[in-house]
Chains A and B, each alone.
Chain A
Amino acid sequence: MVRIALITIAMVFVALFIFIPVIAVFAEALRKGVGAYFAAIANPEARAAIRLTLMTAAIAVPLNVTFGIAASWAIARFDFPGKQTLLTLIDIPFSVSPVISGMLFVLLLGVRAPLGGFLAAHGIRVIFAEPGIVLATLFVTFPLAARELIPIMQAVGSEEEEAAIVLGAGGWQMFFRVTIPNVKWGLLYGLVLCNARAMGEFGAVSVVSGHIQGHTNTMPLYVEILYNDFQFAAAFAVSSLLTMLAIATLIAKRFLERRVVPVKQAQDELAVKVAA
């Protein structure tokens, strides 16, 4: 009795907040028919937005994943003073509102700021242009890869790496032949999460973009413009692409979790065995 009541409540709640919105996106997108749907996506402005979104992710994701690898190596493999502080600092972007994240870069690099003014004098526009979008995206996606990689790097342990060194491997040989293969699923996991956020960020990018149509719009921004322009079906058509990306991300996440979690568990079991 309790069981059925609880399951029903859970299902209604999730349906209300998750499934109905997802279905609504596709229903609204196709409201004016399949032709209008594809026309909305193929529109030059839509294509420009898609291109900028892909470009932003193509810059932000590799940089933040590289950072994630470096940070997790330093933190999981070595002891140094201030490690706890470093971990806290890495988390900062998680606790900053997207609007404020974007605003930071306006304050730092806007035309009225000293640094921004200097760049503008040399013909470099950052704010209300693509570099601002990339920077804001870098900021909001900053902790994602590092946060996934640190615990995995710790769980895998350093014994195999030491073994490689004792067997005569150099630093890069050890890194590419032992470290990376051992954390590859975690790496991919961090990459997927980072990518989803990089392509989907709205608030922070909205502040720095300046809304120049067809030029500095990412897909989430373009959705807003279409919506405010009462082009609802087109707004939802572009939204449907982002929704598919979100669903693909969730599926990839689930798939990768299955491969990442056993690594951690095996290590836990080992630890228990050793302790016993």
Chain B
Amino acid sequence: MASNTKRSNVLPGFGLTLGFTLAYLGIVVLIPISTIFFKTFTLTWPQFWAAVASPRTIAAYRLSFSASIAGALVNSVFGFIVAWSLVRYEFPGKSLIDVMVDLPFALPTSVAGITLTAIYASNGWIGRYLAPLGIKVAYTPLGVAVALTFVGLPFVVRTIQPVLEDLDQEYEEAAATLGASRLQTFVLVIAPALIPALLTGFALAFARALGEYGSVVFISGNMPMHTEVVPLLIMSKLEQFDYAGATAIAVVMLTVSFLILLGVNVLQRWSSRRLTA
């Protein structure tokens, strides 16, 4: 019987643990988060608008969004291929790749930043081969996209991988015995099952890229209007003690992040309902 879903009331510690949880949550997260909204209320509309809609800010938004989308798209395509290879095929070095895919989670972003810069600078390991082709990566928007691809890489792989593992090869075999071609099987059987996970992975990679600072700050060159992403803009406002301006921009960013998080939640609820129905 459903002994797991029933909550017993003989276990001790509910008051203690919930009390501690709420108090700690309040001190570490809720109070700090609320300050930014209180701070926003002290701004006047013109102040807010000046910070949020200045040409420099608009340029930063444009770069952040386009580079984050580019990175997330690249990750969706190649992350899918990586996940597929890891789940479906055996090849030498497979488990090494499987372990190392999470590196962007574990590597400090400043290390990632200086390393990518060193590799893609025009005298770097990869940059020196791209330079003769007229492709400049470091200190250009392309470099920003490369860094954001790096930080988002694990998300798509790690959201698709478990879904692929659950997707029994029997489904494909069943489709094949029913006369479907390989392409038909993929389009009709595999793709629909993966789309929610792919969208979730895309959204997570995008959200992470949007807020990324450390790995971008070195490779971008930080030229206002050209290679300055939003977190960098916030940082430079803070360094000039323009807290009002930084707050206004941060509130817009936070709102976007929360909306993405909400979207991901809705997406996951939708897909889990569809799968369990």
Kindly list chain B residues whose C-beta atoms are within 8 Å of the C-beta of A232.
Answer: 114, 118
Residue of A nearest to B79 (CB): A13
Pick the residue among A6, A80, A243 that contacts B89 (CB under 8 A): A6
Interface flag for B153 (CB, 8 Å): yes
| Known A7-B89, A74-B18, A206-B213; contact A158-B97, beta-carbon cutoff 8 A | no
User: Contact flags (1/0) for A130-160 with B, using CB distance below 8 Å?
Assistant: 0000010011001000000000000001110
Q: Is the CB of A221 within 8 A of B110?
A: yes
Produce 1/0 per residue, B10-33, CB < 8 A to A.
Answer: 111110111011101100111111
Question: Using Cβ atoms and an 8 Å threshold, which residues of chain A touch B102?
Answer: 250, 253
Stretch from A20-28, A34-42, A117-125, A181-189 at the B interface = A20-28
Residues of chain A lying within 8 A (CB to CB) of residue B277: none
B200 located at the interface, meaning its Cβ lies under 8 Å from any Cβ of chain A in the complex: no
- Determine whether B36 belongs to the interface, using a CB cutoff of 8 Å to chain A: yes
Mark interface residues in A223-243 (1 if CB within 8 Å of B CB, else 0).
110010000100110010011
Q: Which residues of B contact A250 (CB under 8 A)?
A: 99-100, 102-103, 106
- The main secondary structure of chain A at its interface with chain B is helix
B115 within 8 A of A: yes
Checking A86, A100, A110, A271 against B253 with a beta-carbon cut-off of 8 angstroms, the contacting residue is: A100
CB distance from A100 to the nearest CB of B (A): 5
State A254–B102 Cα separation when bound (angstroms): 10
The reply on A32 being an interface residue by CB < 8 A is no
B84:A6 contact, CB within 8 angstroms: yes
In the complex, the answer to whether A97 meets B211 with C-beta atoms within 8 Å is yes
Interface centre among A80, A91, A103, A232 (most CB of B within 10 A): A103
Chain B nearest CB: distance from A114 CB in Å?
10
**Given the complex, which residues of A lie within 8 Å of B231, measured CB to CB?**
97-100, 203
CA distance A138 to B31 in the complex (A): 13
Per-residue A-contact encoding for B233-271, CB less than 8 Å = 1, 0 else: 011001000010011001001100110110001000000
Knowing A95-B258, A96-B257, A251-B99, the reply to whether A108 touches B93 (Cβ < 8 A) is: no
B111 near A70 with CB under 8 A, answer: no
Q: Say yes or no for B188: interface residue by CB 8 A criterion.
A: no
CB pair B211–A98 under 8 Å, yes or no, is yes
Contact among A70, A103, A142 with B17 in the assembled complex (CB-CB below 8 Å): A70
Q: Give the number of residues in A that approach B within 8 Å (Cβ atoms).
A: 97
A212 at the binding interface (Cβ < 8 Å): no
Closest chain-B Cβ to A31's Cβ sits at a distance in Å of 10
In the bound complex, CA of A183 to CA of B246 (Å):
42
- Which parts of B187-231 form the interface with A (CB within 8 Å)? 207, 210-214, 217-218, 231
Known contacts A13-B82, A86-B21, A100-B253: A77-B14 contact under CB 8 Å: yes
Residue of A with least CB distance to B112: A21
A158 touches B35 (CB 8 A): no
Hey, which bits of chain B sit against chain A, CB under 8 A? 1, 3-4, 7-8, 10-14, 16-18, 20-22, 24-25, 28-33, 35-36, 39, 78, 81-82, 84-86, 89, 91, 93, 97-112, 114-116, 118-119, 125-126, 149-150, 153, 207, 210-214, 217-218, 231-232, 234-235, 238, 243, 246-247, 250, 253-254, 257-258, 260-261, 265
With A78-B7, A196-B105 already in contact, 5 other A-B pairs whose C-beta atoms are closer than 8 Å: A18-B103, A70-B21, A86-B25, A91-B261, A253-B99
